[in-house]
Amino acid sequence: MFTSNRTVAIGEAMIEMAVVGEGTYERSFAGDTFNTAWHMAQLLGPDFPVGFATKVGSDTISTSFAEELEANGMDIACIARDADCTMGLYMIELDGVERHFHYWRNHSAARLLADDAAWLDRVTRDAGLIHVSGITLAILSPDGRARLWDALAQARLRGARVSFDPNVRPRLWTSVTETRDTLAWFFEITDVALPSFDDEAALWGDASPDATLKRFAQAGIPEIVLKNGAGAVLACANGAKISVPTPPVSDIRDTSGAGDAFNAGYLAARLSAMDQADAIPWGQRVSSRVIRHFGARLPKERVPKFE
């Protein structure tokens, strides 16, 4: 299924200020594709290398980020530096268990990650799985998106599979038309789609999860997993459709990163040669643990391990 056991996620990591108490915040690092890659590395261990391809600054916080990744078993060879930029920052504001985000990312070096076509070719070479998201695309310039598309297309010709979470964030796009056109363009080079129904319904007007699944299948994507909050996960692989109920979760503290964690559990299971029906519960398991915790990533000791 995969030509290599190496995973590379491409995108932006930000400084996260997460609520841990009344008026108290804890600094960490997060970002949708980063959250997925980090959880995958903890799930899979050293036999399945996981790298995160991004661009950060040359400041001490950016250095701390790289050092933390390396200490957590991740490949940092594909982290580039930019002396004139730094990492973006966001703060989570909770309303019950739901969250609102405040962003400061105008000087984020990750916006420039696709400026160098040779670098993109280098970081994607020899990868069996490459994971990107709609946020990855949204922060790039149109020329950067084109370079990333070309790099992913070339990687697929070498045998890599591309997983794509559309992860629609309207404020990052200039218009609905730009969003739809760009996502549809990247569907052409997607092997595993990991959408969320609420995003898809808002952007495309899908009337039901079944309608979303059908639309992705019509785009020619061979493997689709549709997340739907507490609802059942609908999935399709090579035309075979399944529905997997989502177990109820109590003691929810913060839903930040739930979808990213699901992606990590699912993709890690697929890399470990599980079929789709067995991989989905792994996605649900990791996601359910994240939402019982403040912030988008679990404490390392709480990440479940594959046997």
- Is residue 123 a part of any domain in this protein? yes
State the pLDDT at residue 98.
66
State the pLDDT at residue 296.
82
- Cβ–Cβ < 8 Å for 87, 57: yes
- Is residue 307 a part of any domain in this protein? no
Could you give the CA distance from residue 148 to residue 83 in angstroms, rounded to a whole number? Answer: 22
Catalytic residue among 59, 260, 275, 278: 260
- Is residue 193 a part of any domain in this protein? yes
- Is residue 230 a part of any domain in this protein? yes
Residue 260 annotated to the active site: yes
- Is residue 264 a part of any domain in this protein? yes
- Is residue 63 a part of any domain in this protein? yes
Question: In terms of Cα–Cα distance, which of 12, 6, 54 is closest to 172?
Answer: 12
State the pLDDT at residue 260.
97
Beta strands in 58-133 (DSSP E): 79-82, 89-95, 98-104, 129-133
State the pLDDT at residue 102.
87
pTM: 0.95
pLDDT along the chain (307 residues), means of 10: 91 87 84 97 94 97 96 95 94 72 90 97 96 98 98 97 97 97 98 98 97 97 96 93 93 86 97 95 95 85 81
State the pLDDT at residue 95.
72
State the pLDDT at residue 97.
59
Q: In terms of DSSP H, where are the helices of the chain? A: 32-44, 60-71, 117-124, 134-138, 142-157, 176-187, 197-204, 209-218, 258-271, 276-290
CATH number of residue 228's parent domain: 3.40.1190.20
Across the strands, what pairs with 37? none
Collapse the DSSP code of 42 into the 3-class scheme (helix H, G, I; strand E, B; otherwise coil) and give the result: helix
Number of domains comprising the chain? 1
11 Rama sector, left if φ>0, alpha if ψ -120 to 50, beta otherwise: left
How far from chain centre, in Å, is Cα 13?
11
- Is residue 153 a part of any domain in this protein? yes
- Is residue 75 a part of any domain in this protein? yes
- Cβ–Cβ < 8 Å for 286, 304: yes
State the pLDDT at residue 100.
78
Q: Give me the domain span that covers residue 197.
A: 7-302
